[in-house]
A = this chain, B = another copy of it.
Amino acid sequence: MPEAASAQPTRAPIGASEFDRDTAVTPREPGVYDIDLSAGWTIMNAVNGGYLLAVLGRALADALPHSDPFTISAHYLTASRPGPAVVRTETVRTGRTLSTGQASLFQQDEEGREVERIRVLASYGDLDALPDDVRTAAEPPAIPPMGSASVPRTVPPRRRQLRHHRTPDAQARPVDPGMGARTAVGQGEMRAWFGLADGRDPDPFALLLAVDALPPTAFELGLSGWVPTVELTVHVRSRPAPGPLRVSVTTRNLAGGFLEEDAEVWDSENRLVAQSRQLARARL
């Protein structure tokens, strides 16, 4: 989608963007990292789950001998708040092709006790070392092209917008300027263009954000309110090419107060670069 790239007047490079600053972890000792969770990625006072996953993903990338998340599974324990946090990692196994690690993010409660917010298990590798073979039956989702009248711009999942687009009334508007090309395509499915507000190109950590950046599909199913994630697993399948991403999120089954959200992320070269599934609770 080169037209999108050229439409961005300035474009923050990978490593020097808002997303990079807000996910930067500072080593305190081997395997332990400090992070100041930015208030810019909150929804209803809770920090976005995809942003948290990117933070934990960067800590593990530093701690493990491999730098790219291939599969990362997160269990969300308590709601994170903006502010200081510490990430403690453990190297579980190192191998030639894959390494496995564990990481937890902690914050202090009002009495100064450490409370665990989220715990992940992940296997890392080197995306650039993978062979080029692709055999796929998957096709990119149909989304109106960026630049069309109903699609004013790429999705900026930042600050006000991210805080906003999770609110229940978001679904009332067929095109939300804060959501770019978000289109409801029937019960339980959402599709959107996704890009960082400062034009930074996607990398594997931005994919961890992208899978959880759309409004809950539960809104399309007629539910409203908070849909907390219980567990979220992301598979990064390829390093994304520069340019905007397309994201589709589908819920097929809401039952017993729980629903799954399946996300697929496609890059500008029409490759399926990430798949995710989360189990979320619906407050009925």
Q: Are B77 and A92 in contact (CB under 8 A)?
A: yes
A–B pairs, 14, beta carbons within 8 Å: A70-B258, A70-B279, A71-B279, A73-B73, A73-B75, A75-B121, A75-B123, A97-B281, A135-B253, A135-B254, A136-B254, A255-B271, A255-B272, A277-B277
The residue on B at minimum CB distance from A272 is: B253
Q: Quick check: which of A8-16, A153-161, A227-235 contacts chain B, the rest being far away?
A: A227-235
Q: Are B135 and A221 in contact (CB under 8 A)?
A: yes
Q: Given A78-B93, A119-B102, answer yes or no on A130-B221 (Cβ-Cβ < 8 Å).
A: no
A172 contacts partner chain B, Cβ-Cβ < 8 Å: no
Q: Are A136 and B255 in contact (CB under 8 A)?
A: yes
A116 contacts partner chain B, Cβ-Cβ < 8 Å: yes
Chain A 43-82 near chain B by CB (<8 Å), digits 1 or 0: 0000000000000000000000000001101010110000
Q: Are B238 and A255 in contact (CB under 8 A)?
A: yes
Which residues of A in the span 102-141 have a Cβ within 8 Å of any Cβ on B? 102, 116, 119-123, 127, 130-138
The residue on B at minimum CB distance from A221 is: B135
- Name A's interface SS: strand
The residue on B at minimum CB distance from A188 is: B137
The residue on B at minimum CB distance from A233 is: B233
A187 contacts partner chain B, Cβ-Cβ < 8 Å: yes
List 13 extra interface pairs beyond A123-B279, A130-B257, A237-B253, CB under 8 A. A75-B122, A93-B116, A134-B254, A135-B221, A135-B255, A137-B187, A137-B252, A137-B253, A233-B277, A238-B255, A252-B272, A253-B275, A255-B272
CA distance A98 to B78 in the complex (A): 12
Contact of A133 among B70, B130, B254, B272 (CB under 8 A): B254
CB-CB < 8 A to A254: which residues of B? 133-136
CB-CB < 8 A to A121: which residues of B? 73, 75, 119-121, 231
CB-CB < 8 A to A171: which residues of B? none
Q: Are B131 and A257 in contact (CB under 8 A)?
A: yes
